[in-house]
Chain A
């Protein structure tokens, strides 16, 4: 049932990329437990605006767990403690009256802070630009049913393709590795006949770009899988490794 709670928020404030940041503490009373976590931040911002203070900058857009824009380290976990939940899907009923909630931006060398809780995840786009696609132009394509694809392969590709590119995997990793993100795309396309043709070259190009952009190495701690809001399995990392090795053998 709905009720209201009071919370204490410790929030990271940082004016810009090259400025030193620090935690600030805010008290927020009478928050409906039916509110989402981001609605709670809206209420805080509304309060700050009324007090003529600068509101907190954070990324968000769809607020239904699919665009991948929201981020936030909440009490030490990306997207909070709930499994398979993005920050925007987290609700205040998961917190108790009087609780202190610590909110930080993604902490990863490859994701520099832009302002407060907002980070630059452009590195993920650059990895996709390096090879996260099937090289087909628009038009001149065979019929969609020309190549049957086993339901199992299609379903597994779909599971991998569920990645929302939020960056929780890299933020959760003690090495700051983007392996789960890269693996999800490599695996999705390697599982389908359309993407199989370039699978090895794709793995090589995307891994090289990942290394170049300052992401760390994978040491199989599985933190990424545990924190992924879409439950993407690290078995895709094994498939990435296979594709990557086969590319290296061909060299």
Chain B
């Protein structure tokens, strides 16, 4: 096991990440060389359930079926192509070094660890960087139309937290193109009968038999029927839990329910407090707003972020008496360039978000709410011409104009941070296996790789790395011992009991017949999360949040109103079931944030900052992944700790200034 080093004082005897021996750069090769495999005739006899069809789920389902496993794949939308990976805009990182600008597997690994504020597992991140190049090759082979140079070779752009250009992209629609690539590979396997697709199905529980995941219970969202499915192994790829905040950049249906279900069956929930607030989103406009829209981080390549230097100007702008374009260069404060000369507008997301909040809190914000900063393209338009900017970001500018009704070619965009991605999630070991045997977790749904903050263009990389190149290996190491296990009957008591518990829960919700709609309670939860568990957190606020979330839980279970019946399509019921789980996640997030008495990455505790207002880590006491273990309804969960031993990298205070 990893040797203990630096001054970690954490007792980590309980959690074993099962990291292979050997030097960092050889761990994954060694693992693959010695892991167990399943021969082709046995693969056909093994069933694998994959829940989710985003980048991680679709790539895993397709790859496992190509290998010969019998795959059952579930999605809540009408088609696998709708998964929210589709909305990722900017790009995908890889260590190709096509630009000859000094990139390497090690540098991608290092940037990711540093970007995550030294709260990720070294071995996992190194593997991620190692397999990154294969992802680009795979996507090109599938016909993903990446942006190219005139010479026919692949183009790159740069992203936050890196000093090299390693991001591959397809206009501002990279997630769409990568997902459609994975979807086409998945569709090919569905056409062959190797994958059975269940669309408009929602997982409601995992079935555990003798300590191993052996299937799921799912609800057919069209008929309302609750159904049982057996498999030798279950893979969860259901994305993050950002919608706990109600308003987020996530899709309306994105939810954390699969994570909560498996947490309650014994899978640890790790680092729930690590949530990413993305700096470049369109500001909130009104009370009936349903979601927030992200403007890609890639815009920070050519856009400069500023607020007025003088408070009077900010006030005049808020009152509608002045416009952004009325202010001269000298009257603008390009605060990121001022504070972080080395990285400027391309500092990591957590840093950029906090800097925007700092300026707005100090009274320099713009827009009618004062909760916005400018993202200005005029310098780049003057330098490169409007056409180049249109070619690079045309679809994003159009999207902005549709929502805000202003032309960003003429007047700066207004942006403000919003919840976007969750680094925390289900704890997995090196093999992506949860603390329940035979239950794996991939993509954003797991906690691995991004530490306390994710770098831009790394979510797509991780989702596809897990699905194409990691899980198809590691799951075999588990399944090799399952070849003697027959397909079990779904009439077994474990299945019946799980289904019965779901019926009981649904009946309980339907019977409340209160006077509050699901959305109105969800909005209340979201406001609590944003006010107390958002960008700036402190002890008193988090304690308040825990009290308030308790009250929301009580309100939900006594006052919610769900119309209609269970045995039919019932969208309000779907939302109610998800909200019940968001409330659990909200509480876990607040609890974790309260426990973690340090600032790191996206987790900023106001009590712990440097004199310059930067995040102040405490490696002495908090160099661990917090793993929360469910201890029964109404009980406080147990905290287990996985020590993060930095064997290969020397930790330092993150510095994007010089």
Chain A residues engaging chain B, CB cutoff 8 angstroms: 2, 32, 34-36, 38-39, 42-43, 46, 49-50, 52-55, 57, 59-69, 84-85, 89, 91, 93, 114-115, 118, 120-122, 124-125, 128-139, 141-145, 147-151, 154-155, 157-158, 161-162, 164-165, 188-189, 192, 194-195
Give the 8 A-B residue pairs with the shortest CB-CB distance, closest first: A148-B152, A133-B184, A129-B191, A157-B145, A158-B145, A144-B140, A138-B63, A61-B251
Q: With a CB–CB cut-off of 8 A, which chain B residues contact A120? A: 78
Query: Which residues of chain A are within 8 angstroms of B407 by Cβ–Cβ distance?
Result: none
A115→B136 CA distance, assembly (Å): 41
User: How many angstroms from the CA of A202 to the CA of B564 in the assembled complex?
Assistant: 44
Nearest chain B CB to A66 CB, angstrom units: 5
B148 touches A165 (CB 8 A): no
**Chain A residues within an 8 Å CB radius of B472:** 138
Interface size band for B: 35 or more
Q: Which residues of B contact A91 (CB under 8 A)?
A: 402-403, 405
Q: Which of B209-217, B285-293, B329-337, B442-450 contacts A (4 or more CB under 8 A)?
A: B285-293
Beyond contacts A63-B251, A192-B145: 20 other A-B pairs, Cβ-Cβ < 8 A, are A52-B563, A55-B563, A59-B78, A61-B251, A62-B251, A66-B175, A67-B81, A67-B84, A68-B81, A120-B78, A125-B187, A129-B190, A131-B191, A132-B184, A136-B185, A139-B138, A144-B136, A149-B152, A150-B148, A154-B148
* Bound CA–CA A65/B66 (angstroms): 32
Q: Are A85 and B520 in contact (CB under 8 A)?
A: no
Known: A148-B153, A161-B180. A188 touches B82 (CB 8 A): no
- With A132-B184, A149-B148, A154-B146 as contacts: A194 and B564 at CB distance below 8 Å: no
9 A/B residue pairs, CB under 8 Å, sorted by A:
A42-B288, A49-B561, A50-B517, A59-B78, A85-B402, A138-B138, A139-B468, A157-B145, A161-B144
What's the Cα separation between A150 and B222 when bound, in Å? 45
- Establish whether residues B399 and A89, one from each chain, have CB atoms under 8 Å apart when the complex forms: yes
Interface residue ranges, B against A (CB under 8 Å): 59, 62-63, 66, 77-84, 86-87, 96, 98, 134, 136-154, 170-171, 173, 175-177, 180, 183-185, 187-188, 190-191, 197, 199, 222, 251-253, 285-286, 288-291, 293-294, 398-399, 402-403, 405, 468-469, 472, 515, 517, 519-520, 561, 563-564, 569, 571-572
The distance in angstroms between the C-alpha atoms of A154 and B252, with both chains bound, is 32
Instruction: Say yes or no: A42-B519 contact (C-beta < 8 A), given A35-B288, A134-B142, A144-B96.
Output: yes
> Which of A32, A114, A158 is the most central at the interface, judged by chain B CB atoms within 10 Å of its CB?
A158
A38 partner, pick from B86, B176, B187, B290, beta carbons under 8 A = B290
What's the least CB distance linking A179 to chain B, in Å?
A: 19
Please, which residues of chain B bring their CB within 8 A of the CB of A63?
A: 251-252, 290-291, 293
Given contacts A67-B87, A125-B79, A43 and B288 within 8 Å (CB-CB): yes
**What chain B residues lie within 8 Å of A34 (beta carbons)?**
285-286
The answer to whether A55 and B184 have CB atoms under 8 Å apart is: no
Report yes or no: B140 in contact with A128, Cβ–Cβ below 8 A. no
- CA of A101 to CA of B143 in the docked complex: distance in angstroms? 41
**Cβ of B402: which chain A residues have Cβ within 8 Å of it?**
65, 85, 89, 91
B524 to chain A, nearest CB (A): 14
B145 near A128: Cβ-Cβ < 8 Å: no
A57–B569 CB distance below 8 A: yes
By the criterion CB–CB under 8 Å, are B143 and A194 in contact?
yes
A150 touching B399 in the complex, CB below 8 Å, given contacts A132-B187, A158-B145 = no
Residues of A within 8 A of B520 (CB): 46
Q: Is the CB of A62 within 8 A of B87?
A: yes
A145 touches B153 (CB 8 A): yes
Q: How long is the Cα–Cα vector from A52 to B572 in the complex, in angstroms?
A: 12
Assess the A151–B62 pair: CB atoms within 8 A.
Answer: no
Main secondary structure of the interface of A (DSSP, over half): loop
Q: Which residues of A contact B152 (CB under 8 A)?
A: 148-151
Instruction: Report B-chain residues with C-beta under 8 Å of the C-beta of A121.
Output: 78-79
Chain B nearest CB from A114 CB (Å) reads 6
Q: How far is the CA of A46 from the CA of B575 in the complex (A)?
A: 13
Q: CA of A63 to CA of B251 in the docked complex: distance in angstroms?
A: 7
CB distance from A161 to the nearest CB of B (A): 5
- Please determine whether A129 and B563 come into contact, CB atoms closer than 8 angstroms: no
Contact of A188 among B59, B143, B199 (CB under 8 A): B143
Residue ID in chain A nearest B172 by CB atoms: A66
Q: Is the CB of B143 within 8 A of A61?
A: no
Which partner residue on chain B sits nearest A38 by CB separation?
B290
Q: Is the CB of A138 within 8 A of B87?
A: no
- B residues less than 8 Å from A135 (CB atoms): 188
Beta-carbon contact of B176 and A143 below 8 Å = no
- CB pair A133 B399 closer than 8 Å: no
Residue among B62, B77, B148 having the largest count of chain A Cβ atoms under 10 Å: B148
The reply to whether A136 and B142 form a contact with Cβ atoms under 8 Å apart is: yes
Does the CB pair A192–B252 fall under 8 Å?
Answer: no
The answer to whether residues A122 and B563 also contact, given A38-B290, A67-B87 and a CB cut-off of 8 A, is no
| Cβ contacts under 8 Å, B561 to chain A | 49, 52
Of the candidates B84, B140, B472, the one having the most CB atoms from chain A within 10 angstroms of its own CB is B140
From residue A180, how far is it (CB to closest CB) to chain B in Å?
A: 16
Whether B143 contacts A89 by the Cβ 8 Å rule is: no
Contact of A194 with B141 in the complex, beta carbons under 8 Å? yes
- A138 lies within 8 A of B288 (CB): no
For the complex, what is the distance from the CA of A32 to the CA of B82, rounded to whole Å?
28
CA distance A142 to B133 in the complex (A): 11
Q: Closest residue to B79 on the A side, CB-wise?
A: A125
Residues of A within 8 A of B142 (CB): 133-134, 136, 194
Q: If A39-B289, A144-B154, A154-B147 touch, does A66 touch B176 (CB 8 Å cutoff)?
A: yes
Do the beta carbons of A55 and B82 come within 8 Å of each other?
no
The answer to whether B188 and A133 have CB atoms under 8 Å apart is yes
Chain A residues, CB < 8 A from B253: 61
On chain B, the residues within 8 Å of A147 by CB distance are 140
Residues of B within 8 A of A189 (CB): 143
CB of A178 to closest CB in B, whole Å: 14
Task: Tell whether A32 pairs with B288 under 8 Å between CB atoms, given A69-B77, A134-B142, A142-B137.
Answer: yes
